[in-house]
Amino acid sequence: MARPRKINDDTLLESLRETFLEVGPAVTTRELAERAGVSEGTLFKRFGDKRKMFVQALRLPDFHEEQWYRSLANREKTVPLRDYLIDVGLRLHGALSISVPIIQTVFSNQFINPQDIRTLLRRNKETPPLQILDTFAALFENEMAAGEIRTSRPLDLARFFVGAIHSDVHLRLYFPQDATFTPEEMLEEVVETLLGFIALPKEPT
Amino acid sequence: MARPRKINDDTLLESLRETFLEVGPAVTTRELAERAGVSEGTLFKRFGDKRKMFVQALRLPDFHEEQWYRSLANREKTVPLRDYLIDVGLRLHGALSISVPIIQTVFSNQFINPQDIRTLLRRNKETPPLQILDTFAALFENEMAAGEIRTSRPLDLARFFVGAIHSDVHLRLYFPQDATFTPEEMLEEVVETLLGFIALPKEPT
């Protein structure tokens, strides 16, 4: 029988959170472990690498690891493009609604060197906002290659689509009572308009 | 000869700023005046109403009062639409680059009731982000009415255009070293792509 855990994950994450916010994201895993009263090995085994410790301690949604995001650029052709865009748009809206206020709090913390959090959050050399843009651009590029939509600049389509979602998240964050429409309604409208622009011309019958 | 001002504007604004951040935006102009050591009349005469005191004390760009923004929806037809969109897009980018970090600081201030700042910043019953969207939507609607662009949903065009700018501002705010393109380059690209979508079909010659 496994030895019962003396310190549960929530208590450890609370300690990690305090240390990250007090010392900053450049803190060593050794210091994180010392302050939490456990070994470095325990931290690695329970939470993974330092980026993952940070993401879990700050309760950031780690959507980059989720299946819908990892497979975002490759739509299953059984799902209509319209439905797919609304679905992934709503998932991104939900993830940003959680992460944007946390990121703002972290960056406004005077003990945190912005460069350290950038270094910690970078994945495959890309910072999260550019990574999101590139992932949506890859989706649009694949749709163009498959002949599903008109040829245009995929990155700009991503800027329009992600930008509309990002702005809507901010609107609801600061002025929740003034959004007279739901995120679903917003997404249905922008997807319809975007598809109106990028849909292939109907072939003459 | 006018009596010399005993307290200069900068000193007064610094006092207003402290009071707004300590007491919150619901503070009365009477208390603002008392803490600044001047009369309410002096504050009104020098800075205007309470909204204007707040905007100036927090150094928020009051672009809603500027000519380019007030006349945004009505393009002079001597300026090509492409150049006009890049110009107003860059102006919005510049204004948001200043206001977004200030707004984040204000909203993360624990003494400030978010509802109070919403009430203070609302103009003509509209909160700033919706006001910006509606202003750009009015521009696109006017262009449609004048037969300059294809008919589509003006609000969605505004969501795409303002959203792309808003996201770019946030990218540069948090990850300044990772933006490998300038705001000008970004705007030239998105305007070209957007015009590709909304330009009228060429008439057969």
> What confidence tens digit (pLDDT) does each residue in A83-107 have?
999 999 999 999 999 988 888 777 7
Least trusted range by pLDDT, from A51-60, A69-78, A104-113, B184-193: A104-113
Q: Return the pLDDT at B105.
A: 76
* Rounded-to-integer distance, Cα B75 and Cα B68, Å: 10
CATH architecture of A61-198: Orthogonal Bundle (1.10)
Cα nearest neighbour of A161 on chain B: B160
More confident residue, A204 or A172: A172
Local confidence band at B117 (pLDDT 50, 70, 90 cut-offs):
confident
Q: How confident is the model at residue A204 (pLDDT cuts 50, 70, 90)?
A: low
CATH 1.10.357, chain A: domain bounds? 61-198
Alpha helices in chain B, H assignment, sequence order: 9-23, 29-36, 40-47, 50-57, 67-70, 81-107, 114-121, 128-145, 154-174, 183-198
Q: Is the pLDDT of residue B204 over 80?
A: no
Residue A6 has pLDDT above 80, yes or no: no
Q: Which of B137, B189, B82 is nearest to A160 (CA)?
A: B189
The verdict on a CB contact (< 8 Å) between A174 and B103 is yes
| B36: its two tokens | 């600044």
In degrees, rounded to 5, the angle at the alpha carbon of residue A26 between the alpha carbons of residues A20 and A27 is 60
Q: Do B103 and A196 touch (CB under 8 A)?
A: no
Among A165, A166, A196, the residue with its CB nearest the CB of B152 is: A196
- Token pair, residue B196, equals 């590709």
Stretch 108-127 of chain A: residues touching chain B, C-beta under 8 Å:
108, 114, 118, 126-127
> Residue B6: is its pLDDT beyond 80?
no
ipTM: 0.85
Classify domain B60-198 at the CATH topology level: Tetracycline Repressor; domain 2 (1.10.357)
- CATH 1.10.10.60 in chain B is located at 1-59
pLDDT digits (tens, 9 = 90+) for B44-67: 999 999 988 988 998 888 888 899
Q: Could you give the 3-state DSSP secondary structure of residue B149?
A: strand
Q: Where does residue B2 rank: exposed (0-12), middle (13-18), buried (19+ CB within 10 A)?
A: exposed
Within 8 A of B178 by CB-CB distance, chain A residues are 118, 126-127, 130
User: Does CATH number 1.10.10.60 belong to domain B1-59?
Assistant: yes
Residues of chain B with CATH 1.10.357: 60-198
Residue from B105, B178, B195 whose CB has the most chain A CBs within 10 Å, to mutate: B178
